[in-house]
A and B are shown apart, each in its own frame.
Chain A
Amino acid sequence: MTVLLEAEHLTKSYGALKVVDDLSVSLDAGEALGVVGPNGAGKTTMLNLITGTVHPDAGRIVFAGSDISHAAPHERCHAGIGRTYQIPRPFEGMTVFENVLVGGTFGRRHNERESYDACALALHRTGLLPRSNTLAGNLTLLERKRLELARALATDPRVLLLDEIAGGLTEHEVHSLVATIKSLGAEGLSIIWIEHIVHALLAVVDRLLAIDFGRKVADGEPAVVINSPEVRDVYLGSEAE
């Protein structure tokens, strides 16, 4: 297996609070990595560091063989990093299709005509094709989450960073989202998926990473990690999910 993404010794503090603390994560090409950890553990911050919207105090990130530690977010997108937000951030004043078109044209560096097919495919995969002409600001939560995914897919990513994409959805909605993500993984897309809904995660991921206070608590075989005493400690109470 070739390593696709290697984040080494990432550290980030907000004031006195160390949010990510000497965290190293590596992801193989084609691998699906799940990430668990309690609220405030630094999971979202870890993704922000990888996408480049937040700068680490220390550490470096190597993606597909090149050091991207100092690359701007749009350059990381061009390199193949796609991401969905925990709280969806659609371009509200634009239609669903236009939202995806932005990713298709700027993420792929194509003109509009060249990217139409890719955009239609991204919308089809996420079940949003019938909503193409809806204003994104008028979508339901599930549709907004799907739009996050469609937009990221339109940029033609090599790795997909999913931040609690199943959070807040009904059991049924989670089920169909899991199926979509699973099929993306089966096609060889590498995935890092942060999720509190453990059973959804376990249905998809090859490996599980648990973090707490910005540090790695456990990393390995999903069944082993989720049952390890360290993770049980951290998850005491929220384990019922």
Chain B
Amino acid sequence: MAWVNDIIQGILLGGLYALFAAGLSLIFGVMRLVNLAHGDLSLLAAYAALVIVGPLDINPFLSILAVMLLLAVFGYVLQRGLLNHALDAGPLPPILATFGLSVVIQNLLLEGFSADSKGLDAGRIEHQAITLSDQLAIGWFPLITTLTAVVVLLGLSLFLGRTRMGRAFRATSDNQQAAQLMGIDNRYLYGLAMAISLATVAIAGVFIGIRTTFSPSVGPARLIFAYESVIMGGLGSLWGTLVGGMLLGVAQTLGSHLSPGWGVLAGNLLFLAVLAFRPQGLFAKQVHE
């Protein structure tokens, strides 16, 4: 029964990973940009929530909309002001630019908030659970996190699948030049994509901040989990990212069950196994059957 509990906790943890990874997946899909600052941006969101929550003395959940808006605007400006130019310059400059951004964000956070661990306190909900049996309990907070992830992914896939702008995203993802010739302004579209990506990162950043404590240097470690989720699920597949995140979560909780230090290791081993046997990921887009 303990195993079943581990698997459930792992799946719920995976929801958090998926929520966090969705924006990364979107950016890579639309503009083939490897955003190395993704983890640090989630921290930026957590600290922004901290700044809002402190003086107002409100629940961090209530700060999410404001943080989303803040990061969306930041994302748009960042894309149009910096990353679009980097993308024009070839494949390497954008990677260097996001790496530089990662360093800058870490240092600014260190300067502003010190290296001490901080946390967001969401109150009682963090500790309440639905008890199914004496060994099986589902925490409300992890459950809400996973449901939020599903809602965000559903929203994104409806946007991509059903709307005019969503179609432009997919067209640009398939063939950027041909999309431009259809009248799509790719600079604006990229700005919009980064805004959406960072809005989802904002949600994830606040949720992670509630779940665990954070300090300015933990961004890159988070980034790895996001990448593992995206790549295991298959590039370009949002639902694949959800499954990838859940597999990673389950591997980590089962690994921790065996020995406390083995959680991350088990996740990484699973990731390597997927890379070895199905390098395109589990749900990679397949056009030609």
Contact = CB atoms under 8 A, between A and B. Distances in A.
Interface residues of B, number: 24
Contacts of B187: 72
B126 interface: no
A111 B164 contact: yes
B182 A107 contact: yes
Nearest to B288: A137
Interface in B203-230: none
Contacts, number: 85
B287 A83 contact: no
A61 interface: no
A222 interface: no
A48 to B, nearest CB: 9
Given A111-B164, A155-B182, A102 B177 contact: no
B129 interface: no
A10 interface: no
Contacts of A28: none
Given A105-B164, A137-B288, A77 B175 contact: no
B237 to A, nearest CB: 11
Interface in A180-220: none
B103 to A, nearest CB: 32
B288 A89 contact: no
A93 B170 contact: yes
A72 B179 contact: no
Contact of A93 (B168, B174, B178, B184): B174
Given A74-B184, A89-B177, A108-B183, 19 more contacts: A73-B177, A73-B180, A77-B180, A77-B182, A82-B181, A91-B178, A92-B174, A93-B173, A93-B287, A94-B174, A102-B171, A106-B168, A106-B183, A107-B182, A112-B164, A135-B287, A137-B287, A151-B182, A152-B181
26 contacts: A53-B177, A73-B180, A74-B181, A74-B185, A85-B178, A90-B174, A91-B170, A91-B174, A91-B175, A92-B287, A93-B174, A93-B236, A93-B287, A99-B171, A101-B167, A102-B179, A102-B182, A102-B184, A105-B167, A107-B182, A107-B183, A109-B183, A111-B164, A152-B181, A155-B181, A155-B183
